[in-house]
């Protein structure tokens, strides 16, 4: 695992956006796995800026989702489908046709999970998966104690994660309890994993993930198993290393 310490989140965003741009220059239809939350926003801003400046052609890029809330109505502004379309797909000048994600509105959520896992494989696998990290060490929505071999499936959020994500909703009661997430085993199939963590609030989780033992209690420690994993942290998030 490679750990890169950058001065701030903008520098982290620029570094990762350049890695994505480099990938797209050699593989124009690369499948980019994207994450939600506040942390990756500088990456998407920097990549969109590169596209606008014609430093990279992203017109054939494909974008896929890491996770999704269950039971939010289709088109809800905080469904991760809506978030990824708004923050990634549209700024890159792409359309829904280049985007894939799990169906959090499906009647049969289990079947939707299996279908998404299969769709990722049929698409040739994820070339670069961007990850954030939860304060409890989760990746995607794989909460602590998730199997390190897990596949895309339904999960129940911890109270901590619902509280962390309540800022995107009109209060804690509005945050769904259930989610679909790519499993840890699914995530590990991406050819390159890039985790970005910024801010002091992530320092403990980063230290456990990078320097602690491999453990299902810290899902992000699974990156230690991956042959090509890059952890990009600002100085605040690196404080425990």
- Helix/strand/coil for 139: strand
200 is catalytic: no
Cβ pair 197, 5 in contact under 8 A: no
Report 153-182 residues binding ligand GLP (CB under 6 A): 161, 165
Torsion from C-alpha of 38, 205, 228, 39, nearest 10 degrees: 10
The rounded distance, in Å, linking the Cα atoms of 5 and 25 is 25
The rounded distance, in Å, linking the Cα atoms of 11 and 28 is 24
Assess 186 for contact with ligand GLP (CB under 6 A): no
Question: Residue 181, Cβ neighbours under 10 Å: how many?
Answer: 29
Among 34, 72, 120, 133, binds ligand GLP (CB under 6 A): 133
Of residues 137 and 212, the one with the C-beta less far from ligand GLP: 137
Looking at the chain, which runs of residues are DSSP E strands?
A: 2-6, 31-34, 62-65, 67-69, 99-100, 128-131, 153-156, 178-181, 192-197, 229-234
Among 102, 137, 140, 185, binds ligand GLP (CB under 6 A): 140
Assess 144 for contact with ligand GLP (CB under 6 A): no
**Of the listed 76, 117, 127, 138, which one is catalytic?**
138
Among 18, 21, 37, 125, binds ligand GLP (CB under 6 A): 37
Query: With contacts defined by CB under 6 A, how many residues of the chain interact with ligand GLP?
Result: 14
**Of the listed 68, 117, 136, 234, which one is catalytic?**
136
**Of the listed 68, 87, 117, 143, which one is catalytic?**
143
Among 12, 14, 16, 39, binds ligand GLP (CB under 6 A): 39
Binding site for ligand GLP (CB under 6 A): 35-39, 66-67, 132-134, 140-141, 161, 165
């Amino acid at each position: 695992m490679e750990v890169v310490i950058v001065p701030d989140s903008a520098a982290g965003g620029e570094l990762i956006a350049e890695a994505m741009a480099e990938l797209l220059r050699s593989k124009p239809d690369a499948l980019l796995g994207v994450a939600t939350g506040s942390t990756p926003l500088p990456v998407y801003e920097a990549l969109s800026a590169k596209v606008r400046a014609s430093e990279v052609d992203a017109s054939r890029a494909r974008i896929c989702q890491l996770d999704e809330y269950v039971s939010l109505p289709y088109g809800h502004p905080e469904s991760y489908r809506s978030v990824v379309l708004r923050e990634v797909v549209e700024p890159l000048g792409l359309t829904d046709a280049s985007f894939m994600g799990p169906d959090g509105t499906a009647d049969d959520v289990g079947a939707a999970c299996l279908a998404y896992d299969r769709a990722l494989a049929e698409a040739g696998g994820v070339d670069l998966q961007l990850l954030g990290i939860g304060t409890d060490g989760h990746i995607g929505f794989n909460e602590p104690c998730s199997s390190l071999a897990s596949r895309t499936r339904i999960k129940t959020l911890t109270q901590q994660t619902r509280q962390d994500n309540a800022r995107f909703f009109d209060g804690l009661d509005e945050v769904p309890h259930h989610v679909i997430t790519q499993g840890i085993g699914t995530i590990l199939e991406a050819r390159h994993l890039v985790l970005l963590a910024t801010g002091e609030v992530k320092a403990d989780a980063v230290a456990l993930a990078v320097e602690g033992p491999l453990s299902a209690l810290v899902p992000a420690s699974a990156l230690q198993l991956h042959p090509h994993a890059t952890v990009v942290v600002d100085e605040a998030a690196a404080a425990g290393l």
